[in-house]
Amino acid sequence: MMTEWEEQSFIWPKGYTSDAVHAKLRYSKLDVGWLVSEVPAAAAGVYTTNQFCAAPTAITKQLIQKKHTLQALVMNSAFANACTGEQGVKDVSQEQQWVAEKLAITPDLVGVASTGLIGSYLPMAKMEKGIQALKQTSNTLLTEAILTTDTKTKTLCLTATIGGKQCTFSGFAKGSGMIHPNMATMLGFVVTDCQIAPDCLQTMLSTLTDETFNQITVDGDTSTNDMVLLLANGVAGNQEVTTEHEDYPLVKNLYHLLLTELAKMIARDGEGATKLIEVTVDGAKTKKEAQAIAKAIVGSNLVKAAMFGNDPNWGRIISTIGATSATFDPNKVAVQLNEITVVADGQPVAFSEQAASKSLEQEIVFVHVDINAGAHSGKAWGCDLTYDYVKINATYST
């Protein structure tokens, strides 16, 4: 029988250990870490669509597609190991070997994730020292070690009873700039002690990514590296969850919530951002069109700049909607900003600009669009465009 879930302070599920160290890849922050399952775990992933796919991403993708099983993940920040050719591939292989020897497992059970500066080789002497210093502990320092320009960790932990056993689902992510996923420009991970069939895990992730991570944007750029991975080690001892299992809807809803909230945390923490923008589109002819309109709005630099300036300039929203290929009648479109109606039937509505501007000062701005062309809805999340975004990215490598 389906039960509800509960949120709790972030912990690792049963059967997982982790650690992170400062390997001096960068000045003073944690930069190398790992996550280890006591047994091989079912694994699923989605990956960047950037044609310059970084070596760690490409190799981890190959591992999961071949066996759908991982037992350890090693991660680093500061260096992306992207556009590094054959040397980058060799370095990933070496990382896998070091971790495998340390844990007495085979290298093909070790996934690798890197984030940071593109086009620089990994400092392998420092990487080796960092990996050798890692321990199997219950600390959650790994959630800090993967951060780059992020201002905070992004974590969420939920528990639920699945098949009569209490299971924990722990999600963590990084991402602040180069966020315009399709897949995603970030690292995102959800690990659980629930036992879930690998094909079921992959199907859920592939489906839910389209509604979550693929619906966020910060700056319209897609990275070379990033991915979202799910691991399920089954240590909780429940009967394996498949698409036919009575608790499958609960498990899918758990993942939907986790992936949605992690995606929103990334959008809110966009480089230099001061607020999260959530766009809801109703009345679209298809779900795909609803999602496309919503993402176009949060991705518009003019809309993002207006939100930063607390400017209720709804003309920018209307213009963005009209530039999409969605099917609708412009004379039936309605727009609300924080529940203040500014457009109805494609025409301006009298409203207090002062009140609307004041409402835009809040940390979350809600834009609601009704296309009145069908029965489908979609959501997307983004952030405002600020002076600090330019400052951060004008000097990123220097």
- The answer to whether residues 370 and 334 touch, using CB atoms and an 8 Å cutoff, is yes
Please indicate if the annotation marks 148 as binding a ligand: yes
Largest CA distance in the chain: 69
Name residue 148's amino acid: T
Question: Is 185 in the active site?
Answer: yes
Contacts with 273 (C-beta within 8 Å, 6 or more apart), sequence order: 218, 267, 383, 384, 386, 389
Q: Which residues pair with 344 in a beta bridge?
A: 347
Q: What is the DSSP letter of 297?
A: H
Please indicate if the annotation marks 271 as binding a ligand: yes
Please report, for the chain, how many H helices and E strands are present, in that order.
Answer: 11, 15
Please indicate if the annotation marks 115 as binding a ligand: no
Q: How many CB atoms lie under 10 A from the CB of residue 267?
A: 25
Between CA 63 and CA 109 the distance in angstroms is: 8
| Catalytic position from the list 60, 155, 185, 212 | 185
Name residue 85's amino acid: G
Query: Among residues 139, 379, 147, which one has the least CA distance to residue 277?
Result: 379
Placement of tokens 């457009």 in the chain: 343
Please indicate if the annotation marks 48 as binding a ligand: no
Name residue 172's amino acid: F
Contacts with 372 (C-beta within 8 Å, 6 or more apart), sequence order: 283, 328, 329, 332, 333, 334
- The number of C-alpha atoms within 13 Å of 176 and in the hemisphere containing its C-beta is 21
Give the helix ranges, DSSP H, for the chain: 55-67, 85-103, 124-133, 142-145, 198-209, 248-268, 287-299, 301-308, 314-322, 353-359, 387-394
Which residue ranges make up the annotated binding site? 148, 174, 185, 271, 393, 398
User: Catalytic positions, please?
Assistant: 185
Which residue ranges make up the annotated binding site for substrate? 148, 174, 185, 271, 393, 398
